[in-house]
Chain A
Amino acid sequence: MSDENEIIDEMQTLPLDSWHRRKGARMVPFAGYEMPIQYEGIVVEHNWTRDQAGLFDVSHMGQLMVTGEKAAEELEKLLPGAIASLKPGRTRYSLLMAENGGILDDLMVTNATPWIEGDEEEGTEGHWGQVAYYLVVNGAMKWDDIAHLREHLDDDVTLTHMDDRALLALQGPNAATALNRVMRNVIDDMVFMDSVVHDFGEWPLRITRSGYTGEDGFEISVPAEFAESLADRLCAEIEVRPIGLGARDSLRLEAGLPLYGHDITEDTDPVAADLGFALTKKRREEGGWMGHEAVAKVLANGPAQKRVGLQIEGRMPAREGALVYLGDKQVGRVTSGGFSPTLERPIAMAYIDIALAEEGADLEVEVRKKRLPAKVAKMPFVPHRYHRGK
C-alpha cells in the first residue's frame, strides 16, 4: 500500500473528537469520520431526547453555500422543489435528483440571502444582499454532491464548501427552553423550518429550527474553532446531554424519516419513497429539473412499490434486507428496521408492492428463516412534535 492510500483510508476526525472521548463516547467509523455511536447507552439517550433535549454532533454533514443572482434557478435545475419561492430565512427539505429519477441525496436548503440594514445618515435604504442558499447534505454523499453541483451549476453561481464549520443539533421537547437560557431572545419568533444568523458574542452562528428526530429542535452551524465551547455551553444546561449516532438512528426511524443509502438511493424515486411533498406541485407539472421525465412517468402510472412503515409482532427486530411476504409471494423488502425504544417493539421501513402498501395490510417478514407477522403501519410511528407556532 502506498503512503497516499494510507492517507485516504485514514479516518478523519471531527472538531469535537476529543470532546466526545472526554464525555465517554464509543467512537466508530461513519461516513469517513470517527463518530460517537453512544455515550451512556442507546436506549437511555433515545429516551432522554424524547423527554428532555439531546445534543448531536452532525459535523460530518456537508455544509454548502450557493451564491449568485441565478442561484435559485440554477438549483431548480437539480432539485424538484420550489427554491425561487423560498423566502429568506426559510428552510425546505429537498432532493438532489439523478437523470433516471433516482435520488442522489436528500438535503435541507435554506434561503440564506442576508438583509442589509439601511443607514439614514448615508442615505441608504435596507435591501437584500447577495442571493445565497445554504445546503446541508449527507456526510457520506457530500463529495459526490459537490462534484455533481460543480458539474451542473452555471459558472455564474459560486459553490462554497463550508468545511471550516461544525454542525450541532439540539433536539427534544426542552431544546427551546435550554437554548433560550443560553442565548436570550434569539429563537422566540422561530417556527419549524425558520433559519436565522446570530452573532453569539464573537461566534457567528446559523440557527435553523429543524432536525432529524421528529422533536422540536435546532441545528446550529458554528465555526469549528468554537464548536467545543458551544457544546459545553449547551451541555451545561440541565436538560441537555450528548447523544450518539445510535439513538439518532432509532429516533429518526420512529419519526418515519428516511436514511439516505438505505431507505432512499439512486435506485428509488421520490414517488415510491413517499416523498411526494418534496415535489412542488407546479414544478411536478412544469419540470425543468433533472430526473423530471422519469419521475413524471411514475407520477402518471403510479409506482410499483411504496415506502411504508411496518409494525412487527413480537420482540425480534427485522433489519435492512429482510424480505417481506404475503403467503409464498415476496412482496417487499425492509430498508431499515430496529427496536423502537419508545414503543418497545420492533418497527421497520420497507418497500412494499403498491397493492399491499395500505395501512393495516397483514404481511410477514422473514428473519433467519422465521416468519414474523407484520402490519403496514402509519408513519411517523411516534408523532412529530415540531414547533409550528400558532
Chain B
Amino acid sequence: MARYFTDEHEWIDLEGETATVGITDFAQGQLGDIVFVELPDVGAVVEKGKDAAVVESVKAASDVYAPLSGEVVEVNEALEDDPALVNSSPEDDGWFFKMTVSDKAELEGLMDDKAYKSFCDGL
C-alpha cells in the first residue's frame, strides 16, 4: 500500500483501485479542536481540487478538497459521534472517506511522506 500526500494536507492510501482519504496530523494541529465533520454522501462523484468535505473546529469551518477524482464508496461514520478522532488519530482512525480512483495519472505530482515532511518543515 502506498501513501501519498497533497499540498492541501490530505493523505491518500491507495490499495488497488480504492483510495482512503484523510487530513494529516499537521492539518489537524492547525485546525485545532474539531467539533464536526461534514462528509460527502456515498455515491457522490468528487473532482480533484474541488470541495469534498468540511471540517468544523470551534473557531471556523474549513473545506477539505478531493485529492483525486472518483466516486465516494464509503465514509467514516465514526466521525459523526466522535469528530475529535480527527485530532487524536488523524492518519488512522480519523480517516474521512474511501473513493474509487478514476484516473491514476492524478497521483503524479503528489508527495511521499518524506517529501511531505520537508514540505511542512518549510511552512
A residues whose Cβ falls under 8 Å from a Cβ of B: 37-38, 41-44, 46, 246, 249-250, 315-317, 319, 338-339, 341, 346, 368
Q: Does more than half of chain A's interface fall in helix, strand or loop, or is it mixed? A: mixed
In the complex, chain B residues 40-62 whose Cβ is within 8 Å of any chain A Cβ: 54, 56-61
Q: Tell me which residues across on chain B come within 8 A of A315, comparing CB atoms.
A: 35-36, 83
Q: Report if B33 contacts A (CB, 8 A).
A: yes
Chain B interfacial residues counted at CB < 8 A? 13
Choose one: B32, B36, B54, B61; the contact of A246 (CB below 8 Å). Answer: B32
* 24 A/B residue pairs, CB under 8 Å, sorted by A: A41-B32, A42-B32, A42-B57, A42-B58, A42-B59, A43-B33, A43-B58, A44-B33, A46-B58, A246-B58, A246-B59, A315-B36, A316-B36, A316-B38, A316-B56, A317-B36, A338-B58, A338-B59, A339-B35, A339-B56, A346-B35, A346-B36, A368-B38, A368-B54
**Residue among B36, B38, B58, B61 with most chain A CB within 10 A:** B58
CA distance A338 to B34 in the complex (A): 12
Q: How far is the CB of A321 from chain B (nearest CB, A)?
A: 11
Q: Tell me which residues across on chain B come within 8 A of A46, comparing CB atoms.
A: 58
Q: Tell me which residues across on chain A come within 8 A of B60, comparing CB atoms.
A: 319
CA distance A241 to B36 in the complex (A): 27
Q: Are A38 and B32 in contact (CB under 8 A)?
A: yes
Q: Tell me which residues across on chain A come within 8 A of B38, comparing CB atoms.
A: 316, 368
CA distance A43 to B87 in the complex (A): 12
CA distance A22 to B9 in the complex (A): 27
Q: Are A317 and B35 in contact (CB under 8 A)?
A: yes
CA distance A42 to B35 in the complex (A): 11
- Chain B, Cβ-Cβ closest to A246: B59
Digitize B71-114: 1 where CB-to-A-CB distance is under 8 Å, 0 elsewhere.
00000000000010000000000000000000000000000000
Q: Tell me which residues across on chain B come within 8 A of A319, comparing CB atoms.
A: 60-61
CA distance A339 to B36 in the complex (A): 9
**Residue among B33, B56, B61 with most chain A CB within 10 A:** B33
- Chain A, Cβ-Cβ closest to B60: A319
Q: A42-B58, A317-B36, A346-B36 are in contact. List 5 more A-B contacts (CB 8 A).
A: A250-B58, A316-B36, A317-B35, A317-B56, A339-B36
- Chain A, Cβ-Cβ closest to B30: A26
Q: Tell me which residues across on chain A come within 8 A of B58, comparing CB atoms.
A: 42-43, 46, 246, 250, 338-339, 341
Q: Tell me which residues across on chain A come within 8 A of B33, comparing CB atoms.
A: 41-44, 341
